[in-house]
A and B are shown apart, each in its own frame.
Chain A
Amino acid sequence: MSNSVAQNIANFLREYPPFNYLRHDELIQVATSIGVVSLDKHKTLFKIDDKLHDSFYVVASGVINLSVIADAEETLLNKCYPGDVFGLRPFFAKNNYMMTAKAREDSIVYAIPITVFKPFVAQNPQVLDFLLESFATNTRNPFDKENRSKLITDNVYTENQSNEIQYFQSLSYNKMPLKVTANTAVKDVAQLMTENLIDSAIIIDQNCPVGIVTDTDFRTKIANGRFPITVAIDKIMSAPVITVPENVSVAEAQLLLLKHNVSHLCVTTDGSDKSEVKGIISEHDLIVAQANNPGVLIKEIKRSLSPKELKLVREKLTDLIQSSIAKNIPLPHIYNITGEIITAIIRRSVELAILDLGSPPSRFAWLSIGSQGRKEQLLLTDQDSILIFEDVAPEKYRDVKDYFLKLAKRTTTILEKVGYQFCPNGHMASNMLWCKSMSDWIKQYNNWMKMPGEKSNDISSIFFDYEIAFGEGKIEDTISDLIVSNTKNNALFFDYLGNDTLRKNPPLNFFKKFNVEEEGEHKGKFDIKNRGIMPLVDGARLFALSLNLRGINNTHARFKQLALVDPKFSEIYLNCADAFLILSKFRTLEGLKNDNSGDFINIEELNKAERERLKNALSPMKDLEELIKDKFQLTQFS
């Protein structure tokens, strides 16, 4: 009997491994046996310790989250997108499921009965290889997505493994560290290190590490004469040693180095300093093994030849951000690294566009504006940019503008392929309005600043957060100079900006409850972006402009700097700086969890402590508002 829907499903499956190894008639046979399951958002398909189903699953639409419980916390292992295969355990094992599969959004999955698929596995070695390999190697490695078979294993735990999920590559390190006792003379230790061509030595007490010396210690404590070279080594060692277990991953080791600001990690049997020393990890080992090191990512970006390659790097970056946040790396640090990498992506996109179009007819600058201009972008948001080109002779103007518009269109399209949506308000260089010559831009900024609110109400304060991504640095300087000179004695402009800042709706209502969205798609959720973060961003910008803080575009850095130059109110500024970080972290976590921009937080999903934290982070805003009202005469536009 024919079955046209089965045909459609077979055509869908054919695109993805392992189904692409099957013949058409075999696929039809598989498709005919399929059961279609509809999962509403948050619905669980199977959970840890559930009895095995008699099918495995392919995502047809939507997203399925796979997670495990580690340390009583739910850890997201992977997100399965259409075409991904999951729930393979019944093929290879008899014990119950080891992970939870839950719909992140409304999804449809195909259930393929094991009994139907097994013959194909037996007959077709490629299919078998595919399934076995993926199941055995715990592949959850976004770092080689290109080569990765699109199949997600649920076999997370291996023998003797601690509850750390090892989805990063493991690290090779020196397993024969130099070990000395506490009473060895410094001179002898230095000699040993020189002979062994090694830059560190571990001081042990009954094979447990008590301290470490590195080249740095010799420089800072011996060479400058603070200690004689005959002193016992324990006088100059650094203690305690940061210790890690044997199966540490690259990412974790890197994070520990950053967190503790050290250059070496000591490997011990159980990861504490009360057990036997097994080896030593130096920064160098990390660099060698490192694949997701920011520097390497930037290198990869520079080598990329297509949007697709850039997209892969952006995906790695998301992973880097996710693991960094999980390990409590300070947010400003993450912002810096991410900002650099994203700037590199944008720069490469412009370069790719230039490679396509031929070299530009005049000098120009491509500025990122908005969140990327502030280097506060962790999630994939929309792209905002402007393009400024040098003034050219009037007869050439049209051709030049034409070229840059084309360039901008191409670049924004590349960025869109990388994953940055087009700006819904059209704040992009590909828009005729925002791709102009230097003198036009000067006019534009003069208009905005000298006659705010006259021509249009929307001066879009995001144009005052910019960061050069490509091109001539002098052009950016010119704009900065212009803004600084225009801010002098310009009460009107600050009046406008101040009112703009205060216009945002308050985050908490009279009863100290969250003001959640009352209607629309996000009904019942808290708009953390517009009610929490944006007022702080706007406030920081306002003060930074009024106090002439040049070159500091980051909100956190702005508040920190404000606290220095305006010490009278330093407490308010510092509170705001902290609040900004906390709110950003909430948003980032929400965004990573949902794969979106994280603008809306579901208050119901937070526990009580988190809610309080969020509320506390919203309170400094009040003081800031008062300060704004105090400092600027907000009359004209109120």
Chain B
Amino acid sequence: MLDWIKNINKEYPDFWKAYLAKFETKSNRYVVLSTETTGLNPKKDVVLSFGAFGVLNDVIKIGDNFEVVILQYKYLHDNGLSNEFLIESKLPKLAEPQAMQALVEYIGNSVLVGHRIHFDIELINEALEKMSCGKLKNEALDIEIMHQKYLDVTNKSFSIEDMVKHYKLPLSEKNSASDDAYAIGLLFLKLKTLLGFK
């Protein structure tokens, strides 16, 4: 009711308002998300690409995908990095604000699933702040934590490859964000049944 008071000083972009409106209902869709970043510092580093799939009723929907490379020319230039891979890539390319908007529109109110997903969300939030948006409101599940819970260990970290090997999943050779997202999706389905939650 009083939301408008909170928002009174701040005019969100339209897409963000639409995003917030989606949270009035609960979603049964999961989105497995994988990012490629320039590093591990949320303040300094930026996202280079996204790969994501929708999961509905325990089925990974290949058609429900999101794949984009972000043109971080400024960052790359500032840090003296090559931007060759951006030019080489055949994936759709967007500038950061457009990419973030597309991502937010794609995920909607779904539950996010990823590998160390909270780091991904932090990076996205940084980018969103520059666009004068709020923070992501989605629930998030981390498959690494799920895996630790299943094995009942807390002091060991697991990479995606570790888990793929542990569950003997067919491993894809390439390593784009989409391939990772697909692997995370398979791991998620597996862990979901192993841990027995709906």
Contacts and interface: CB of A to CB of B under 8 A. Distances in A.
- Tell me the interface secondary structure of chain A in the complex: mixed
Given A5-B53, A38-B190, A106-B167, A32 B91 contact: no
B10 interface: no
A8 interface: yes
Contacts of A35: 59-62
Contacts of B185: 36
Contacts of B182: 5, 36
A169 B92 CA distance: 55
A313 interface: no
A36 B168 CA distance: 16
Nearest to B173: A8
Contacts of A5: 53, 62, 65, 178-179, 181-182
Given A5-B178, A106-B168, A36 B90 contact: no
Most chain A CB inside 10 Å of its own CB: which residue of B53, B62, B172, B186: B62
B193 A40 contact: yes
B103 interface: no
A359 interface: no
A253 interface: no
B190 A6 contact: no
Interface in A1-16: 1-6, 8-9
Interface string B176-195: 10110110011001100110
B63 interface: yes
A111 interface: yes
Given A4-B67, A108-B186, A36 B62 contact: yes
B148 to A, nearest CB: 20
A106 B187 CA distance: 12
B169 A3 contact: no
B65 A31 contact: no
B58 interface: yes
Contact of A3 (B65, B193, B194): B65
Given A4-B178, A61-B170, A37 B63 contact: no
Interface string B96-127: 00000000000000000000000000000000
Contacts of A244: none
Most chain A CB inside 10 Å of its own CB: which residue of B60, B167, B169, B185: B60
Nearest to B194: A40
Given A5-B179, A8-B172, A108-B169, A32 B62 contact: yes
B65 A111 contact: no
Contacts of B60: 35-37
Interface string A22-41: 00000000011111111010
B59 A6 contact: no
B2 to A, nearest CB: 39
A247 to B, nearest CB: 41
Interface in B41-65: 51, 53, 58-63, 65
A6 B62 contact: yes
Most chain B CB inside 10 Å of its own CB: which residue of A32, A35, A37, A108: A35
B92 A2 contact: yes
A497 interface: no
B189 A9 contact: no
Contacts, number: 74
A60 interface: yes
- Tell me the interface secondary structure of chain B in the complex: mixed
Interface in A576-618: none
A403 to B, nearest CB: 40
B170 A4 contact: no
Contacts of A3: 62-63, 65, 67, 178
A32 B179 contact: no
Interface in B10-63: 51, 53, 58-63
A37 B193 CA distance: 12
A239 B176 CA distance: 75
B59 A37 contact: yes
Contacts of B181: 5
A37 to B, nearest CB: 5
Nearest to A37: B59
Interface in A98-120: 106, 108, 111
Contacts of B61: 35
A60 B51 CA distance: 21
A36 B190 CA distance: 12
A33 B60 CA distance: 10
Given A36-B185, A40-B190, A60-B170, A1 B59 contact: no
A43 B193 CA distance: 11
A109 B167 CA distance: 16
Contacts of A2: 67, 90-92
Interface string B58-76: 1111110101000000000
B62 A33 contact: yes
A35 B176 CA distance: 20
B176 A36 contact: no
Nearest to B192: A38
Given A2-B91, A4-B91, A38 B62 contact: no
B176 A4 contact: yes
A522 to B, nearest CB: 16
A6 B190 CA distance: 21
Nearest to A106: B168
Contacts of B170: 60-61, 108
Nearest to A43: B193
B186 A38 contact: yes
Contacts of B58: 37-38
Nearest to B183: A5
Nearest to B186: A38
Contacts of B167: 106
B168 A6 contact: no
Contacts of B172: 8
Contacts of A32: 62-63
A5 B32 CA distance: 13
A4 B173 CA distance: 12
A31 B62 CA distance: 7
A36 B186 contact: yes
A6 B181 CA distance: 13
Contacts of A37: 58-60, 189
Contact of B92 (A1, A9, A60, A108): A1
> Top 3 A-B pairs ranked by shortest CB distance?
A36-B60, A35-B59, A38-B189
Given A3-B63, A36-B186, 16 more contacts: A1-B67, A4-B51, A4-B174, A4-B176, A4-B179, A6-B62, A32-B63, A33-B62, A35-B61, A36-B62, A36-B182, A38-B193, A60-B170, A61-B169, A61-B170, A111-B59
Interface of B: 51, 53, 58-63, 65, 67, 90-92, 167-170, 172, 174, 176, 178-179, 181-182, 185-186, 189-190, 193-194
16 contacts: A1-B67, A1-B92, A2-B91, A4-B174, A5-B62, A5-B182, A6-B65, A33-B62, A37-B59, A37-B60, A38-B186, A38-B189, A106-B168, A106-B190, A108-B170, A108-B186
